[in-house]
Amino acid sequence: MKYDPEFLENYWMPFTSNRDFKSDPRIVVRSEGVYMYNDAQERILDGSSGLFCCAAGHSRPEIAQAVYDQLKESAYVPPFQMAQPLSFELARRIAKLTPDGLDYIFFGNSGSEAVDTAMKIAYAYHYARGEGQRQRFVSRERAYHGVNMAGVSLSGMIKNRQAFGPGIPGVVHMRHTWLPENRFVKGQPETGVELAEDLERAAMNYGPDTIAACIVEPIAGSTGCLVPPKGYLERLREICDAHGILLIFDEVICGFGRMGTPFAAQAFGVTPDIMTMAKALTNAAQPMGAVAVSERVHSALMEAAPDGAIEFFHGYTYSAHPGACAAGIATMDIFDKEDLVGRAAELSTYFLDQIFALSDISLITDIRGYGLLAGIDLEPMGGPGVRGLDFQKRLFRNGLHLKMTGDCALVAPPLISERHHIDRICEVFRKTLGEY
């Protein structure tokens, strides 16, 4: 057998129980549309868009062709003090989708880098305006902002922080927005708006003029799809405005149509000052992340620098990489041509109805959902995450991929999915839970 433990030994897999995996590997050799195929050529329906990133379906030939053409023409151009044309074009395409006023786009290579970049922009903005004392960040329990040290410091998921030192100083966490009374509520809960007052408390506790920014995922994704209570994001916006605090939305999961709008900011009618994105930006065909910045923030940095000076001492060797830009533009073309955002909006009601219809299963303790994103909590079995891993492996064997976070299954089908794919997700889910 090719995939024996010896063959698998050298690759240290990320966010994986390596020893368990290598004794029972799950290898995917091919993917197309809403399906992946394992090494026995068995079909696995992708119910989580990979890791929320293959919004337009797997392995789109248009994107592969665009990347190939670009790499042949010019595989690399240094992005510092020079540029290649696609970087401008992709930035323009993204700016068409972002909420009005969030028109300046900075590129990196991942969601984690986008979060680092957003934090540095926030520091630099206040510094440029003579408010360099604003160095605190307000984040939230159960937040996930990637794995670089900035994101780890902001993170509210304990396992992602526990072993990695104290992190950057000055991060304050608000309470998360999951409330027991809102179990099995579809969409935005009616109660819980008062949780936003944690930001006001932090401002009063530390001094409003010490806080640089408040960062939240509009829907906390990786912790299990925590949908914000009605009025919650609006209230965060008000508090930020009252105290000169920047509001950052981390839209790495929510962005690019998953909410039935280009970004969650539009779905919830709240515009942040800075927005991070990644994942579906290139349909996962190339690594890329980006930060969208408001005119106010951008011009503060531009105006503070002397003529000819670099305005923001930040960037990556692979910022706006030509291959990633080509993938991004080809992805945006597919979004336009196939109206993927409209499709997501149209499919959402059916999706949520079918997912919430699983709530009769006694092993399910909660379901939350919005747009084409849902979290289904399972009754734990012999310790946190044990059932989650076991269930994920069983699902895979039964032909379905779902991302698990602890004991929560995250359902996020590709935006090209059809109703029968949703039916199949629910059917395999129910059957597999029936194995316990």
Ligand X SMILES: Cc1ncc(COP(=O)(O)O)c(C=O)c1O
Residues that bind ligand X (CB under 6 A): 110-112, 115, 144-146, 217, 221-222, 250, 252-253, 278
Nearer to ligand X, 66 or 253 (CB): 253
- Distance from C-alpha of 20 to C-alpha of 386, rounded to nearest angstrom: 12
What 3-state class would DSSP assign to 163?
A: coil
Residue 174: how many CB atoms within 10 A of its CB?
A: 22
CB of 146 to ligand X, least distance (A): 3
CB of 279 to ligand X, least distance (A): 6
- Distance from C-alpha of 171 to C-alpha of 308, rounded to nearest angstrom: 34
Residue 265: how many CB atoms within 10 A of its CB?
A: 24
CB of 51 to ligand X, least distance (A): 6
Nearer to ligand X, 210 or 222 (CB): 222
Nearer to ligand X, 252 or 358 (CB): 252
Half-sphere exposure of 145 (CA within 13 A, CB side): 35
Nearer to ligand X, 284 or 428 (CB): 284
Nearer to ligand X, 188 or 222 (CB): 222
CB of 278 to ligand X, least distance (A): 5
Say how many residues make up the chain.
436
Write out the H or E segment, with its range, that includes residue 150. Answer: helix 149-154
- List 220's β-bridge partners, or say none: 226
What 3-state class would DSSP assign to 173?
A: strand
- Looking at residue 52, its amino acid is F
- Looking at residue 94, its amino acid is I
15 Cβ contact list (under 8 Å, min separation 6): none
CB of 218 to ligand X, least distance (A): 9
Nearer to ligand X, 216 or 426 (CB): 216
Determine the residue with CB nearest ligand X: 111
CB of 430 to ligand X, least distance (A): 27
Nearer to ligand X, 49 or 432 (CB): 49
CB of 152 to ligand X, least distance (A): 11
88 Cβ contact list (under 8 Å, min separation 6): none
What 3-state class would DSSP assign to 136?
A: strand
Contact 247, 203 (CB under 8 A): no
